Chains A and B, each alone.
Chain A
Amino acid sequence: MTELKRPEQDARRRGRGRRRKRDGEQSMVPEAEFTSYYGRPIVKPAPWEADIPAYMFFGGLAAGSSMLAAGGDLTERPTLRRVGRVASLLSLTVTLVTLIHDLGRPSRFLNMLRTMKLTSPMSVGTWILSAYGPFAGLAAVSELVDMLPEGNRRGVLRLASALGKPAGMVAAVTAPPVAAYTAVLLADTATPSWHEAYRELPFVFVGSAAAAAGGLGLLAVPPEEAGPARRMAVGGAVLEMAAEQQMERSMGITAEPLHQGTAGRLMRASKALTALGAVGALLSGRSRLAGIVSGAALITGSVCTRFGIFHAGQESAKDPRYTVVPQRERLDRGQPIRYED
């Protein structure tokens, strides 16, 4: 038997005076009183599962890897080039699988390509991927062809090998939007903790992408070629952590879900791993083992960032507090959002 509730009682019980458990961390924003309809959510959470944060992670990894590969190609670091190209193809494959798997009607995936809509970050993202993917794929194929014995590279294979360099350059130039657009994908929603993060989230995500790709370079490339990967990893980690701090300050009450429950654990893990990985990367020097450990920490940190932000948004949508309170406060200040000519 469900307990019969009255909406206002429910809202007061949730709203007044009580501090929530937030895994040891205290919010700087005091609990606000608010009313809701039986505590039910107003906006709906996205019907997305682990596919989408995984997609965002692998998209970032692919983008960063393509840039490392192109740089490795231009500066004659063959292992860095090879690792970058192969990693970008593998990551790209995972992004496609997760993207399609997440659809309600996967067989209609190609409907994404029946129009080009600038107001839809998902449409724009699909076209960004369509521009980037073939070149990243071709660069990786040429890498694989070059691993074949000399005598077996004939015809189309020979062509693929020759196109590796230009394809890799195009992939590197089209890669940054792949890493950045996923932030707009989340922010362009009514999900409170995603939308309110729109100013800094792109920087968090490109930082996270650079940290992950740099981390992979540290992990898989011997130290004599891994210098650029190390610098990219450290730069990315610093950017991610700084942007994330700024983001939390600018989000007001909607930053709370980043500190609670699963999202809170993931975000704390992300910060610890990213910081550890960055310090390790700086200090690892010529130690292969230190490079591997730091690289793995950075990659895992990036995974935690994507899943943490994803979960925080979903939780913010499920609690009417994050929809009602900021809007009610605007109204009570006499500053509702209105069009002014």
Chain B
Amino acid sequence: MSLSIRKGSITGLIGPNGAGKSTLFNLLTGALKPDSGSVRLKDQDVTNLSPNRLFKLGLGRTFQIPRPFARMSVLENVMLAPIAQIGETISGPFLFRSRMRDEEHHIRKKALEVLDFVTLTPLADHPAGKISGGQMKLLELARVLMGDPGLILLDEPAAGVNPVLTETLIEKIKELNRRGTTFVIIEHDMDFVMRHCDPVIALAVGKVVFQGTSEEALADPVLLDAYLGATADA
């Protein structure tokens, strides 16, 4: 398959279970290594780069099943994310104390702003493992935002999340998108995809079967039939 994500878009990635959506995400984010083919990010070949390198290059991702650092506070989860912190080396806390403290001050301030943005401020001091699934998805978004990524991959952000939180999430995604962040979203909720994503890419058995606007997708009987037919089996 071959596909490209347009800069500045909110691209929806749909397809029945087993179509390869999450596998594609894992290939793009370096969690899986491709047997062949290549991945390019902003004209740079990033094939085979590890997830940590890709995050540093501005690619953030969330997980289908949220992966909070459960026994850490929500605030700590977010404060972890900035890259290359001086205090993250074993010598930093001893040799560069004042620099580390300044940096912590800034990171904490930014983390609180990001938590405010995703409406999690009241939960800042809660253990991340004890918040709701929807809140965990917002937390994952918050963590990713700390790295100021240009491209964010969201794996089923609306699945299992109550409608109010979903609306909050969409609002935040659109706000970020207006500021220039590109999104790729895997989602089963067709209504979500049709309303908020453009373009839409559909996968089936590891192949791109459709690529176009949401209007075109809605008008494509084969796609709808294939997609809905397969999910009905699931």
Partners in one complex: no
Binding site for A on B (CB under 8 A): none
Binding site for B on A (CB under 8 A): none
